[in-house]
Chains A and B, each alone.
Chain A
Amino acid sequence: MSARKEALIQVEDLKKYFPVKGSWFQKKQYVQAVESVSFQIFKGETLGIVGESGCGKSTLGRSIIRLIEPTSGIITYDGKFIYDSNQKIAVPMLPYRRKMQIIFQDPSASLDPRMTVGEIVGEALDIHRICSGKAERRERINELLDEVGLNTEHANRFPHEFSGGQQQRIGIARALAVEPEFIVCDEPISALDVSIQSQVVNMLEDLQEQNHLTYMFIAHDISVVRHISNRIGVMYLGSMVELCESYELCNHPMHPYTKTLLSAVPLPDPEKNKTRQRILLEGDIPSPINPPGGCRFHTRCPYATERCKNEVPELKEYAPEHFAACHCLEGR
């Protein structure tokens, strides 16, 4: 099945460490934000990434489009290397920015308050020299605003004049301006009101269909991710613990962390909540500066054994297209 699907982005062994300032005598320490993550994103699909805050999901998204330079690993886009730490390849990203774009979480923080909407959306057109004349540029901006459900007269206004939902639409229009193939959606709806969230989710789905886009959808709300994604990757403390088709993940989770995460989501259904079995975890996420050795989840995992403390589990295929990283699944 995967043979027929074409991989758009391939990530191998991606790592991103952030240095932490210590005192003079301390050894230099690092926040291990992303630790050896490998996966593929197929053309036309939506890959959802879920995890708790601090698990490295945003860092992963930004490293892939190299807004943050990775520490090591290999990233290929459409068969071409855009980053390879072994062969010391780091291509100039400008041509790729036309193909890869990002939508940020906080719409008001990601729009320049001193630029009008027209300037914000048009800036990308200027940088990539997409439009030949002023009239064409104006035409294109109007077209983009129309596409995201804004009026053409909004082009002359400033971001603060808009509501949160509308600001997010401006952010989406800006991402679409260069006609990208791939968009990283970094928590695009978590700052929005409940009744506005579904409007934006539907719009993202429509835009994907019209423009044949590939999404990487990052969010902490697993119900939204499940709704929009074809496949979901679950992250915990910098590593990918499970990766598979979204309905399979929610109906037959394998990794103990995924099971906990799913059972922790309160359902809008009072009777079901009463009968549902809850798995409650003890304690908090360990610090990524000094993550536990072996399986990173072993400090909170109810099934942890001696082996989990010493040996890092690999992401293996335990069912067709269903990958998980857990020692307990072996020999099932």
Chain B
Amino acid sequence: MAEKDKLIEVKDLRVSFFTPAGEVKAVDGISYSIGYNEVMGIVGESGSGKSVEAYSIIGLLQNPGRVIGGSITFEGEDLLSYTPEQMRQFRGNKVSMIFQNPMTCLNPVYTIGNQLTEALLCHDKDISRAEAFRQAKEMLEKVGINNAEERMKQYPHEFSGGMRQRAMIAMALICRPKLLIADEPTTALDVTIQAQILELMKNLQKNEGTSIIFITHNLGVVAEICDWVSVMYAGKIVEQGRVNDIFYRPMHPYTKGLLASMPRLDEETHERLIPIEGTPIDLLNPPKGCSFAPRCSECRQICLRKKPPFKDAGDGHISACWLHFMDQAETSAGSGEEAAEA
């Protein structure tokens, strides 16, 4: 990807939580970039650091979490050097976020219209109240809420779950941000409502040209909406690539394991699921080598000792696993140490 096409670039980002029990490396050196009008999916289990990573982009990390290294560049500007006031202007204007549970994010004592216009009035000092109201109504109609004029006067509890999520999306998009971070936006919804919301997000992305970071644990949703996918495990990206590469040509054992362990609606015969054995690692005491090694069925000696480097398979498809270096490792007297340095 050429330098000028990048909307946001995250380089070697490290986020740690300093808890009484010790340092938890929630995000441990991840890098990716997103171009204009692209959808990047971030997949991972709970505790893999996918939400923390997104929160650090938008500056919503809470104590005791801190960015301790790396850089986030948004259209050539370093986000980590922003003052809180600059961040406030940036947030909502250039980047906005949709959360998993809309009920906890909407203010129950203000009307939907009030909350929508507030965002506009905050970021544009010259706009009149009437104009803000008109734009907010237009946005509600755009996200598929009928009878918008009436709905503006209602409170969040008068909306159904799917409607609330639509209102959240309207609120996120009202200042026409260039990047939308969606943190599990459909997890709390039913499948038929999920299908509606995904369709809506696809259309909005096409029409408004917004880039999206889509955080989810549902591989089906990723296949549906994303152009690029990053698979995270224990604070690290283990595999990254175009959506077709990830689903049809997965390289990393964790990605392969995830795909094999899912029951599929389109399977022809009853095949036993192949689970990933074991449980996710304790981030307080991460293993010395590859984080996935304790659960990996193809774990070798070296996996336990050293962290694997990325193997580039072309077209942006990368995967961090020692297995990709086994040929080289065997030629270098079976140690694989040399391949690490390479």
What are the residues of chain A within 8 A of B263 when measuring CB–CB? Answer: 198, 201, 223-224, 226-228
Q: Report the minimal beta-carbon distance from A247 to chain B, rounded to whole angstroms.
A: 8
CA distance A228 to B264 in the complex (A): 11
What are the residues of chain A within 8 A of B273 when measuring CB–CB? Answer: 198, 201-202, 227
A278 near B275 with CB under 8 A, answer: no
What are the residues of chain B within 8 A of A29 when measuring CB–CB? Answer: none
Within 8 A of B (CB), among A39-74: 52-53
What are the residues of chain A within 8 A of B160 when measuring CB–CB? Answer: 284
A270 near B279 with CB under 8 A, answer: no
Q: Report the minimal beta-carbon distance from A84 to chain B, rounded to whole angstroms.
A: 34
The range of chain A's interface size is 35 or more
CA distance A284 to B192 in the complex (A): 9
Q: Say yes or no for B194: interface residue by CB 8 A criterion.
A: yes
What are the residues of chain A within 8 A of B194 when measuring CB–CB? Answer: 264, 266
In the complex, the chain B residue whose C-beta lies closest to that of A246 is B270
A268 near B193 with CB under 8 A, answer: no
1/0 contact string of A141-175 vs chain B (CB within 8 Å) = 00000000000000000000001011000000000
A250 near B265 with CB under 8 A, answer: yes
What are the residues of chain B within 8 A of A266 when measuring CB–CB? Answer: 194-195, 198, 218, 220-221, 223-224
Q: Report the minimal beta-carbon distance from B337 to chain A, rounded to whole angstroms.
A: 30
Determine, out of B63-71, B254-262, B319-327, the stretch whose residues face the partner at the interface. Answer: B254-262
What are the residues of chain A within 8 A of B192 when measuring CB–CB? Answer: 52, 260-261, 264, 281
B276 near A195 with CB under 8 A, answer: yes
B264 near A223 with CB under 8 A, answer: yes
A193 near B217 with CB under 8 A, answer: yes
Please tell me which one of the listed residues B191, B193, B262, B272 contacts residue A202 in the complex, with CB atoms under 8 A apart.
B272
Q: Say yes or no for A306: interface residue by CB 8 A criterion.
A: no
Q: Say yes or no for B199: interface residue by CB 8 A criterion.
A: yes
What are the residues of chain A within 8 A of B191 when measuring CB–CB? Answer: 52, 220, 222, 261, 264-265
Q: Given A193-B45, A193-B46, A266-B221, decide whether A284 and B193 contact each other with a Cβ distance below 8 A.
A: yes
CA distance A191 to B142 in the complex (A): 33
Q: Given A52-B190, A267-B265, A284-B163, decide whether A198 and B276 contact each other with a Cβ distance below 8 A.
A: yes
Q: Say yes or no for A8: interface residue by CB 8 A criterion.
A: no
B190 near A198 with CB under 8 A, answer: no
In the complex, the chain B residue whose C-beta lies closest to that of A271 is B244
In the complex, the chain A residue whose C-beta lies closest to that of B282 is A163
Please tell me which one of the listed residues B45, B195, B265 contacts residue A195 in the complex, with CB atoms under 8 A apart.
B45
Q: Say yes or no for B162: interface residue by CB 8 A criterion.
A: yes
Within 8 A of A (CB), among B256-315: 257-259, 261-267, 270, 272-277, 279-280, 295
Q: Report the minimal beta-carbon distance from B114 to chain A, rounded to whole angstroms.
A: 23
CA distance A201 to B198 in the complex (A): 28
Please tell me which one of the listed residues B46, B198, B243 contacts residue A270 in the complex, with CB atoms under 8 A apart.
B243
Q: Say yes or no for B219: interface residue by CB 8 A criterion.
A: yes
Kindly count the residue-residue contacts between A and B in the assembled complex, taking CB atoms under 8 Å apart.
123
Please tell me which one of the listed residues B162, B163, B266 contacts residue A272 in the complex, with CB atoms under 8 A apart.
B266
Please tell me which one of the listed residues A201, A223, A264, A271 contacts residue B195 in the complex, with CB atoms under 8 A apart.
A264
What are the residues of chain B within 8 A of A205 when measuring CB–CB? Answer: 272
Q: Say yes or no for B74: interface residue by CB 8 A criterion.
A: no
Please tell me which one of the listed residues A263, A268, A273, A285 contacts residue B259 in the complex, with CB atoms under 8 A apart.
A268
Within 8 A of B (CB), among A226-242: 226-228
B264 near A267 with CB under 8 A, answer: yes
What are the residues of chain A within 8 A of B220 when measuring CB–CB? Answer: 265-268
A268 near B217 with CB under 8 A, answer: no
What are the residues of chain B within 8 A of A263 when measuring CB–CB? Answer: 195
In the complex, the chain B residue whose C-beta lies closest to that of A225 is B263
A280 near B279 with CB under 8 A, answer: no
B275 near A268 with CB under 8 A, answer: no
In the complex, the chain A residue whose C-beta lies closest to that of B195 is A264
Please tell me which one of the listed residues A197, A199, A262, A280 contacts residue B196 in the complex, with CB atoms under 8 A apart.
A280
B244 near A270 with CB under 8 A, answer: yes
Please tell me which one of the listed residues B193, B195, B221, B223 contacts residue A269 in the complex, with CB atoms under 8 A apart.
B223
A222 near B265 with CB under 8 A, answer: yes
B247 near A195 with CB under 8 A, answer: no
A223 near B262 with CB under 8 A, answer: yes
Q: Report the minimal beta-carbon distance from B310 to chain A, rounded to whole angstroms.
A: 22
What are the residues of chain A within 8 A of B257 when measuring CB–CB? Answer: 195
In the complex, the chain B residue whose C-beta lies closest to that of A272 is B266
What are the residues of chain A within 8 A of B199 when measuring CB–CB? Answer: 278, 280
8 contacts between A and B (CB under 8 A): A52-B192, A166-B279, A195-B45, A196-B275, A201-B263, A267-B265, A268-B262, A270-B224
Minimum-distance CB pairs A-B, first 5? A266-B220, A227-B263, A198-B261, A198-B275, A264-B195
Besides A250-B265, A268-B220, A270-B247, 17 new A-B residue pairs in contact (Cβ under 8 A), listed by A number: A53-B190, A193-B45, A193-B46, A193-B217, A194-B219, A196-B275, A198-B273, A199-B275, A222-B265, A223-B262, A223-B263, A223-B265, A227-B263, A264-B195, A268-B222, A271-B244, A285-B190
